[in-house]
Structure 1
Amino acid sequence: MSAAAGSGPTICPTLLYRDAKAAIALLTEGFGFTEVAVHEDAAGVVQHAELAYGNGVVMLGSAGRAGVFARAMKDAGPTGIYVAVDDVDAHHRRAERYGVQILMPPTDQDYGARDYLARDGEGNLWSFGTYVPGTAG
């Protein structure tokens, strides 16, 4: 099915983790993502996973695998990902309960949004806030 058919998101951040299973646990239990698919090889290495939040999806896998994408990402540094949420404070409390490293607590921004900033176990930055990209205002 083509992206034009509108069956899902057309942009999906993709991350490779040294410990993909720990990343999946943090994203689902700490940040409230829903596991859509997890594909492991015979040795239990996560080859590909899809986790959803709202109408967005993040794809991830295990670092150190073979293939063009894995080789190109080999020396990639941490990345930053933004996720729009309805209730920033409730989302923040969930992440705190899970033990996520919080870099900035929920904060009202000058442009009208409220957001917080966290770091996952492998250094990626996750921002959660009320701003919805692509909307007027």
Structure 2
Amino acid sequence: MTDTAHGAPTVFPTVLYEDAKAAIRTLTEVLGFTAEAVYEDGGGAVVHAELSLGNGRVMLGSRGRDGVFARAMAGGGPVGIYVVLGSAEDLDRHHARAAARGMEILMPPTGQDYGSRDYMARDAEGNVWSFGTYAPGAA
């Protein structure tokens, strides 16, 4: 679902990491996300970060901080996040980049029965990132 006034997504996965700075490096340098905003507290913990890929965004921060969300997520994870890539060629290039940079690949690019081409990777803290050509809700 998108915000029809702005064309922006209305759902944002949010992930907490023990080492949020390392996660940001992996997501940007290995998986091609762009860091749109990164806010740190005085001790260097990531209070809030937003990373984008295409028109989607993921928010992340450091575990162990105070607050309602941090307490609610204290035992959470790992999580799975699905990211739509434009075409099979885009997906294959994305996979090649991730594999060449040492990302743990759980499933290489694979054609699915429902028509998508997908691959799956796991980050250093166990979160599973799936990339595919299937766009849920697209006409």
Aligned counterpart, 2:118: 115
Which consecutive unaligned segments of at least 5 residues does structure 2 have? none
Which consecutive unaligned segments of at least 5 residues does structure 1 have? none
Partner amino acid, structure 2, of 1:123: G
Q: Give, in whole Å, the separation in 1 of the partners of 2:17 and 2:76.
A: 11
Among all aligned residue pairs of Structure 1 and Structure 2, give the percentage whose two residues are the same amino acid: 65
Q: TM-score, normalised by structure 1?
A: 0.94
Which deviations, in whole Å up to 9, do the C-alpha atoms of 1:89-137 show, x marking residues without a partner? 100011012110000000011111100000011000000010011113x
Is residue 59 of structure 2 the alignment partner of residue 59 of structure 1? yes
Aligned length, in residue pairs? 134
Aligned counterpart, 2:108: 105
Q: Give, in whole Å, the separation in 2 of the partners of 1:107 and 1:5.
A: 36
Q: TM-score, normalised by structure 2?
A: 0.92
Structure 1 stretches of 4+ moved >6 Å: none
Q: Secondary structure at the match of 1:81?
A: strand
What root-mean-square deviation, in Å, do the aligned CA atoms of Structure 1 and Structure 2 show? Answer: 1.2
Q: Give, in whole Å, the separation in 1 of the partners of 2:9 and 2:41.
A: 26
Superposition pairs of residues 1-137 of structure 1, within 5 angstroms: 5-6=5-6, 8-86=8-86, 87-136=90-139
